[in-house]
Amino acid sequence: MEPNGTDLIRLEGVTKVFYTDEVETHALSGIHLEIHKGEYISIAGPSGCGKSTLLSIMGLLDTPTEGKYWLNGTPVEDLDLADRSRIRNREVGFIFQSFNLIGDLNVFENVELPLTYRGMPSGERKERVQKALERVGMSHRVKHYPSQLSGGQQQRVAVARALVGEPAVLLADEPTGNLDSKNGTAVMDLLRELHRAGATIVMVTHDPRFARYAQRTVTLFDGRIVNESFEQLEMGEQPSAIEGA
Ligand SMILES: Nc1ncnc2c1ncn2[C@@H]1O[C@H](COP(=O)(O)OP(=O)(O)OP(=O)(O)O)[C@@H](O)[C@H]1O
Ligand SMILES: [Mg+2]
C-alpha cells in the first residue's frame, strides 16, 4: 500500500535482527506504525524492547532487516548512502540522552554543523543558528564549550542543533534521562512548545509524567507494538493533528 498524503512516517512490517557471534537478536518484529505531520508520539516499554532501534531506523541511522519505510513519502530502502545522509540531514533532528555535542566545538559551531553539511552560505547559517539558540534560551552562551555548560543547558543546545535545519521530524531518545527533575521539565516544556508551533515529535521516555505530554503513546514489548493509547486533547488544541490516527 502506498502512503497517504498526511503520513510523515510509515512503517510496514518492519523487522530488525542483529546478528552477533552466532546469536540472533530480534530487536523489532513486524512493526506497523503511521505518524502524521504535527503529531507528538511517545514510545514506551521496558529496557531492551527495541525503542532505540526503532528510533534509529526512523532516523535513517540504521536499516530494517525486513519491511518497508516511507519518510515524507520517500521509500527509503531504495536510497544509496549519499541520498540517505542527505535526507537524514534535511528531514531528521536527533536529540539523545547523552546530548552528543562535539566537545571541541563551541555552542554556536555545534548548532551550525548540520547547516554546514548542507553547504548553506555562512550569512544564512548565522541567522538560523542565532534564531535557534534564541528559541531554546541559549543565545547568551554562544562562545561556551559543552564542558562549560550544565546538563540542562547542553540539552537545550542539542535541541537547537536538532531544530536549526527545520527538519520534518524531531526524534528524541530519553532526552531527559541525564537531567534532574527541574531541567528535565524545562526540556520537556521546550519540546511541547515546539510541538505547538507545528513540529512532529517522536520521543522515547521512561517517565510517565513526560509521556503524558505526547498525544499518543506506543508501547513496545519484545520488539512488538502491544498497546497504543491517546491522551485527552488539551483545551484549545486542534483535533486535526490526530485525525484518522
Ligand atoms: N548493535 C546491536 N547488536 C546486537 N544487538 C543489539 C544491537 N543494538 C541493540 N541490540 C539488541 O536489540 C534489543 C533492543 O535494543 P534497544 O537498544 O532498541 O532497546 P531499548 O528499548 O532502547 O532499551 P533501553 O530502554 O535500555 O534503552 C536489545 O535486546 C539489544 O540487546
Ligand atoms: Mg534505548
pLDDT, tens digit (0-9, with 9 covering 90-100), for 144-198? 999 999 999 999 999 999 999 999 999 999 999 999 999 999 999 999 999 999 9
Q: Name the band, by pLDDT with cuts 50, 70 and 90, for residue 5.
A: low
* CA-closest residue to ligand 1 atom 5: 18
pLDDT band at 206 (very low <50, low <70, confident <90, very high): confident
Region 123-150: mean pLDDT is: 97
Could you tell me the three cell numbers for 116?
A: 554546514
CA–CA separation, 144 vs 5, rounded Å?
43
Pocket test of ligand 1: the residue of 15, 20, 21, 51 to mutate, having most ligand atoms within 8 Å of its CB, is 51
Q: In this structure, how many other beta carbons lie within 10 angstroms of the beta carbon of residue 102?
A: 12
Q: Is the pLDDT of residue 215 over 60?
A: yes
pLDDT above 70 for 243? no
Whose atoms come closest to the Cα of 44: which ligand? 1
Phi, psi (5° rounding) for residue 121? -60, 150
pLDDT in tens, 51-78: 999 999 999 999 999 999 999 999 998 8
CA 106 → CA 34, 68, 111, 155, distances in Å?
37, 39, 9, 14
At residue 234, the pLDDT reads 54
Please compute the mean of the pLDDT values over residues 110-119 and round it to a whole number. 96
The pLDDT-based confidence of 27 (bands split at 50, 70, 90) is very high
Residue 238 or residue 172, greater confidence = 172
C-alpha 136: how far from its chain's center?
A: 16
Mean pLDDT of 18-22: 91
Grade residue 245 by pLDDT with cuts at 50, 70 and 90: very low
End-to-end CA distance of the chain: give it in Å, rounded.
17
Q: Which residue out of 23, 49, 55, 61 has the highest number of ligand 1 atoms within 8 Å of its CB and is therefore the one to mutate?
A: 49
Q: How far apart are CA 126 and CA 13, in angstroms?
A: 42
pLDDT score for 40: 97
Q: Which residues face 17 on adjacent strands?
A: 26
pLDDT above 90 as % of the chain: 86
Expressed in angstroms and rounded, the spacing between residue 48 Cα and the centre of ligand 2 is: 7
Instruction: Give pLDDT, residue 241.
Output: 42
